[in-house]
Structure 1
Amino acid sequence: MSRLERLFFMRPVYTVIMAARITGAVDPAGLRQALDATARKHPLLRVKVVFDERHEAWFSSEGVPPVPMRIVQRVSDRQWLDELKEEARVPFDINRGPLIRFVLLQSPDVSDILLLCNHSICDGMALANLVRDILILYEDPAQEVSVINPPDVLDLVKPGISLPGLVVRFFVGLGNRKWQKNPYRFSADDYAALYRGYWETRKPGLVLLEFNPEESAHLLATCRSHGITVGSAVSAAFLAARTDIVGEFPKNQQTVMVPFDLRRRLTPPVGNVFCFCDGGVKFPFSWSVKKTFWENAKDLHKEIHSRVEVLDPSCLDIPSFEPSFIDALTAFGPYVDTIPEVFARTDTMRRFMKDTGNVVFSFNRNYEKDLPGFVPSNIGRIDVPESPGGIRLDRLIFLPGISELGPLSLGGAGAGGRMAFSLPFVDPSAKTGISPEAELIRIRNRAFEILGFPEKVSDKALE
């Protein structure tokens, strides 16, 4: 497990989720066969995590059971969200594996497939490609399956040397030396206790902005007439809507972080490999009330694409933290104040919380102040040919992570001619004890109005 993958390993809000709607009669046995074949193609679907004597984490396939697929009778169009809310609260058994699981909500004419995956082995594009691979193998189970081994992204992209990077390395070196004097090595039991404890009194939530095929085509044409992508326009609409409803982000969070798929930009290309293969660009951006919506949208589009088109590896310049130090910084330290009662559940967590002089707490003191205000993750359109038997991918809904640390997060995906954008949230907020759903619905509705769809305004999270 690379340092990059470990950043997203143990935190309870970093389960990446995708919901795929399939029209036509889905055979569970055939889907099971396709899932097993896909697991042979992508080794990370069948791994667990083992720790060595230095507490380095390694992916291992030894003795890992098949990818679980729970089958539920589908009785309503909204049922998938209810299942998702419960399933997302369950930690992975990281010592046993796998780090991914499926739920099939089946009915004779329409089925929903939920994919939930630990972020250390996947990103949104990986899950979207996985849906496509499964459906293709479902239609042609006799085709030959070739293994695509995951690369270490940090070996493929080499960040350059910079003065800020050297400064960071200096302080990380000091932090490592302090950490080594009194390290805490968090185990699978600690991860499970943190994960379950966090979600005991809250659930994931979701507000959806969705366009049917006719609306999607209209929006696409409008965006093209302005020379920008739908992703840029929708991102701009949510920035404008959030500004209208809530106000500007705090000064230190007037930034945008845009993840992007490294698979499309690496040389030589790595193909549709299943792994964590994301980059990201972070830049300052604030909404200008002196400009029209489309002028602001063009500015945002230009800023995003000027940075993404030139591969900037600085986002992958992960400092060489001690392995266990990463777990403490990213997964356990941020929750000591939020859910202190949970830290009494294991000996390691209890000792860690009481050690207030630990270097982790000084590192994390200003952590939230450095978080971006807006993180739009748009994986684009996924095309799967319709089968002769009528099986068809009708839509995809992508949840890039369900966190309350950043003010606004967006997940976008397109399939079956439909575009869907999700606003995931934690319900209720651990900070305020209040559900953010009503506020996010108002933001979503304002975004509909800004984009020219006032008739889609609704008081419901899902239309």
Structure 2
Amino acid sequence: MNRSLGAAEHLLWRLSQTRPVNAVLCASLTGPLSTEWLRDALDAIQRRHALLAVRIRTDGEGRPYFDSEAVAPIPLRCLPRRDEAHWVYEVEEALTRPFAPEEGPLLRATLLQGVEAHELLLTFDHAIGDGMSAALLLRDLLRELSQPGTCQGLPPPVACEELLPPGLGRPPRAHLRVLPDGAPSVAAVPGSAVRLLTRDLSAEDTARLVEVSRHERTSVHGALCAAFLLALVDEAGSRDAVGLRVMSPVNLREHLSPPVTEAFVPCFARQLTRHRLSSTSPFWEVARDVKQQLQRDTGGHGKFAHLLEVKDFLATAPDAPGLQAFVKDVMGSELTVTNLGRWGHAEQYGALRLRRLHVTVSGLAPLIVGVTTVGGRLSLCSRFLESALPVQRALRIQWGAWERLQSALQLTSTQRAL
């Protein structure tokens, strides 16, 4: 494989030159799993997905391109599983350990091996994939583990913008750059330590969240954004309204021409919603506002506006300060919520079963909440930058979001019963 990086890939590669921009998927599994089986399965999926066997080089003019010549196998690290929380510490370390893009490959695997329970971590440079890529990769890996030889090679994926629908206009630049009054400054902090906090909802609570969100004319994503936004407002302790931004990754795969259904490749756009909130802002109004802004801004061809904005910007060959200013202006947020939705594949693969799934990224926001749902149970994985949110503050925000969500669900259920 030898092609230039697309706009989204190029931007993520530039950002990773100052700090790691890694994504991690952690799958909790039960059943027999040996390192030999996993090694063979990793080799198979590396043959299937071309971007798992590349390095990033630059040409004579400094333009990056993918190159697959003589790239090594996917590294596999195996450790004895200590306890249920062991994976959290390994994910924290994986988020901050950089790749060597000029060497490749840009994915590594870690197995925390127990007697019957295991955690499998798949860490990759964000420049080669996104959350949906990781889900497809895990599905392929589990299939290969249960039925060796089922993985078939795919054509090398093209850059996302090569598949945009015809007739797109230019992005509404002025609209993209409108920020709420008084929005705090957001900047990446090189070398910031990252920490994780996790929380799982029961199947009953997850079903109730889905039901009530529909009743309130919003979405689960909107409700989760509202919970964390209001927890951030509570933590700020301001008597005045606070301007906050949420970044929501938007999956573009089904909107491309042709749709991208199987490839491991980044196919997403970043969409900001902007809110002015106080501690008394009604929960479900905030949740509806999130959904309505996302629907408004991603309707029709609007979902491609950010990608076109990035493409136009990179065409100016920006220097490092210009890149940081662009990221702060167009992508900066106090909160990111990345929601993979329901696991849409099998949970049982031979004797191996997927119990739970967590996703997170290094990212730029002080707080990033990864959301997945497996077996009807929703899992939250909150990644925070310790320099921006010390542990005690992060714990209060996580607990506050949980309390806001539970209160909203209980109050709405009571009102409906009356």
User: Does structure 2 conserve the Cα–Cα contact (< 8 Å) formed by 1:56 and 1:323?
Assistant: no
| Partner of residue 378 from structure 1, selected from 321, 339, 355 | 339
- Work out whether 1:139 is the aligned partner of 2:146: yes
Q: 1:89 & 1:375 partners in 2: Cα distance? A: 18
- Where structure 1 has 5 or more consecutive residues not aligned to the other structure, the ranges are 169-196, 334-359, 430-434, 455-463
Q: CA deviation at 1:402?
A: 4.3
| Corresponding position of 1:316 | 307
Q: CA deviation at 1:35?
A: 1.6
User: Does structure 2 conserve the Cα–Cα contact (< 8 Å) formed by 1:253 and 1:369?
Assistant: no
Give runs of aligned pairs for residues 53-72 of structure 1, distance below 5 A: 53-72=60-79
Q: 1:104 & 1:244 partners in 2: Cα distance? A: 39
Q: CA deviation at 1:219?
A: 2.3
Q: 1:407 & 1:96 partners in 2: Cα distance? A: 30
- Work out whether 1:126 is the aligned partner of 2:117: no
Moved over 6 A (4+): 248-252
Pick closer, same or farther for the CA change 1:258–1:86 going to 2, 3 Å: closer
Q: Which amino acid in the other structure matches residue 132 of structure 2?
A: M
- Where structure 2 has 5 or more consecutive residues not aligned to the other structure, the ranges are 178-188, 409-418
Q: Which digits, 9 at most, give the CA deviation of each residue in 1:175-198, with x for residues without a partner?
A: xxxxxxxxxxxxxxxxxxxxxx95
- Work out whether 1:47 is the aligned partner of 2:54: yes
User: Does structure 1 conserve the Cα–Cα contact (< 8 Å) formed by 2:249 and 2:338?
Assistant: yes
Q: CA deviation at 1:118?
A: 0.7
Q: CA deviation at 1:311?
A: 3.7
Q: Which amino acid in the other structure matches residue 266 of structure 2?
A: F
| Corresponding position of 1:285 | 275
| Corresponding position of 2:353 | 392
Three-state SS of the structure 2 residue aligned to 1:30 is helix
Give runs of aligned pairs for residues 265-280 of structure 1, distance below 5 A: 265-280=255-270
Q: Which amino acid in the other structure matches residue 94 of structure 1?
A: P
- Work out whether 1:7 is the aligned partner of 2:11: yes
Q: 2:407 & 2:267 partners in 1: Cα distance? A: 35
Give runs of aligned pairs for residues 72-221 of structure 1, distance below 5 A: 72-143=79-150, 145-157=152-164, 159-161=168-170, 164=173, 198-199=190-191, 202-221=192-211
Instruction: Give the aligned CA root-mean-square deviation in angstroms.
Output: 3.0
Q: 1:217 & 1:3 partners in 2: Cα distance? A: 38
- Work out whether 1:259 is the aligned partner of 2:268: no
Instruction: Report the TM-score, using the length of structure 2 for normalisation.
Output: 0.82
Pick closer, same or farther for the CA change 1:88–1:291 going to 2, 3 Å: closer
Instruction: Report the TM-score, using the length of structure 1 for normalisation.
Output: 0.75
Q: CA deviation at 1:233?
A: 0.8
Q: 2:194 & 2:374 partners in 1: Cα distance? A: 24
Q: CA deviation at 1:279?
A: 1.3
Q: CA deviation at 1:440?
A: 1.6
Pick closer, same or farther for the CA change 1:253–1:127 going to 2, 3 Å: farther
Three-state SS of the structure 2 residue aligned to 1:298 is helix
Q: Which amino acid in the other structure matches residue 209 of structure 1?
A: R
Pick closer, same or farther for the CA change 1:277–1:105 going to 2, 3 Å: same
Give runs of aligned pairs for residues 218-233 of structure 1, distance below 5 A: 218-233=208-223
User: Does structure 1 conserve the Cα–Cα contact (< 8 Å) formed by 2:171 and 2:305?
Assistant: no
In terms of mean alpha carbon deviation, does 14-23 or 240-249 score higher?
A: 240-249
User: Does structure 1 conserve the Cα–Cα contact (< 8 Å) formed by 2:29 and 2:117?
Assistant: yes
- Work out whether 1:34 is the aligned partner of 2:41: yes
User: Identity percentage over the alignment?
Assistant: 28
Q: Which digits, 9 at most, give the CA deviation of each residue in 1:304-352, with x for residues without a partner?
A: 23433434221012245568945x43xxx4xxxxxxxxxxxxxxxxxxx
Q: CA deviation at 1:40?
A: 1.4
Q: Which amino acid in the other structure matches residue 169 of structure 2?
A: G
Q: Which has the higher strand share?
A: 2
Q: 1:97 & 1:264 partners in 2: Cα distance? A: 29
Q: 2:407 & 2:32 partners in 1: Cα distance? A: 33
Pick closer, same or farther for the CA change 1:222–1:375 going to 2, 3 Å: same
Q: 2:153 & 2:306 partners in 1: Cα distance? A: 31
| Corresponding position of 1:409 | 368
Q: CA deviation at 1:418?
A: 2.2
Pick closer, same or farther for the CA change 1:280–1:366 going to 2, 3 Å: closer
Three-state SS of the structure 1 residue aligned to 2:276 is coil
Pick closer, same or farther for the CA change 1:46–1:417 going to 2, 3 Å: same
Q: Which digits, 9 at most, give the CA deviation of each residue in 1:6-57, with x for residues without a partner?
A: 1111241411111111122222222222221111111000101121111111
Pick closer, same or farther for the CA change 1:322–1:419 going to 2, 3 Å: closer
Q: 2:32 & 2:23 partners in 1: Cα distance? A: 27
Q: Which digits, 9 at most, give the CA deviation of each residue in 1:55-96, with x for residues without a partner?
A: 111111101011111111112111112222233332212222
| Partner of residue 441 from structure 1, selected from 392, 395, 412 | 395
User: Does structure 1 conserve the Cα–Cα contact (< 8 Å) formed by 2:53 and 2:68?
Assistant: yes
Q: 2:281 & 2:386 partners in 1: Cα distance? A: 35
| Partner of residue 28 from structure 2, selected from 21, 38, 42 | 21
User: Does structure 2 conserve the Cα–Cα contact (< 8 Å) formed by 1:279 and 1:316?
Assistant: yes
| Corresponding position of 1:190 | none
Aligned residues: 384
Pick closer, same or farther for the CA change 1:310–1:257 going to 2, 3 Å: farther
User: Does structure 2 conserve the Cα–Cα contact (< 8 Å) formed by 1:384 and 1:393?
Assistant: no
Q: 1:62 & 1:149 partners in 2: Cα distance? A: 14
Q: CA deviation at 1:120?
A: 0.7
| Corresponding position of 1:418 | 377
- Work out whether 1:296 is the aligned partner of 2:286: yes
Q: Which amino acid in the other structure matches residue 381 of structure 2?
A: S
